[in-house]
Amino acid sequence: MFPELEEISYKVRELVLKMTTHAGSGHPGGSLSATDLLVALYFKKMNIPHLSSPERDRFILSKGHACPALYAVLALKEFFPEKELFTLRKLNSRLQGHPELITPGVEAPTGAEGHGLSIGNGIALAGKLDKLNYRVYVLLGDGELDEGQIWEAALTASHYKLDNLVAIVDRNSFQLDGATKDIKYLGDVGEKFKAFGWDVIEIDGHNFEQILDALDEAEEAKEMPTAIIAHTIKGKGVSFMENNDEFHGKVLTEEQLKKALEELEKQRRKIKEAK
């Protein structure tokens, strides 16, 4: 059990919903499915002495539309003030609608699906060249796997034996227009990565023990990259958002927000009591 991490996740979910409703637009559903993965990485796994240290671990949000979750995590890491989250998507904000390098802690500009794994390949190759021990984590959407570039990048990573690279697939089984099985059937994602020469670990992407074990296990892989297929729930944490593709790119109304925050608060209290 990781009550501290769960506590942070609830805080992140709360911030995601508040800031997107405040902004009036954004992508809450895919932000919530990715939240626990981000929290495990930033609050337990990744080593970031400071934002410009060459040996820091890197995280790339390839599914850039989930940036509200990333921004919330970066703010809770105190890379910038929490109140700045409420400038999201507003004129002159450092928090753009999709990730830009101007945000402290953002490692790559993303937003068009399909780019992050290749960028991760480049950073991982540089790590090998410089004999630095940092690790590179790339979060992919499952809908994003429709992009051909992902599979170009998957071949490159195994060809260059990038064992310092980890792709995490946020396997929430939804994309923009609906379920991935209806839009473009993906089949067995893990088997596909295996066929491309990757080590593959399947986990429940909302179970911290499994997430952290998988991230540790990925370090054991030698001369091959690791793909963690994280089975998640789009909209995780709010009953009426879960597995509801309506909230892919639509934010909560004030009324819905109130209800959602109450739900999150209830769950948070439960964790506290258990502690």
What is the H or E stretch that residue 140 is in?
A: strand 136-141
Q: Which does 144 bind (CB under 5 to 8 A by kind): another protein, ligand TPP, none?
A: ligand TPP
Coil, helix or strand at residue 166: strand
When CB distances are held under 5 to 8 angstroms depending on the partner's kind, the choice from another protein, ligand TPP, none that residue 143 binds is ligand TPP
Q: According to the binding rule CB under 6 A, does residue 172 interact with ligand TPP? A: yes
Sketch the per residue contact string, 36 through 75, with ligand TPP: x for CB under 6 A, - otherwise. ---------------------------x-xx---------
Reading phi first (left if > 0) and then psi (alpha if -120 to 50, else beta), residue 187 is in: left
The yes or no reply on residue 195 touching ligand TPP (CB under 6 A) is: no
Residue that has been written with the tokens 């023990």 in this structure: 209
Q: Which stretch binds another protein (CB under 8 A): 1-9, 69-77, 102-110, 205-213?
A: 102-110
DSSP conformational letter for 174: B
Side-chain-side CA neighbours of residue 60 (13 Å): 25
Residue choice 126, 132, 176, 179 for contact with ligand TPP (CB under 6 A)? 176
147-166: contacts with another protein (CB under 8 A): 148-149, 152-153, 155-156, 159-160
Interior/surface letters 192-209, b for 16+ CB within 10 angstroms, e for the rest: bbeebebbbbbbebbbbe
Q: Is position 111 an interface residue for another protein (rule: CB under 8 A)?
A: yes
**Burial of 266 per CB tally in 10 Å (0-12, 13-18, 19+):** exposed
- Residues forming contacts to another protein in the complex (CB under 8 A) are 54, 100-101, 107-112, 114-115, 118-127, 129-130, 148-149, 152-153, 155-156, 159-160
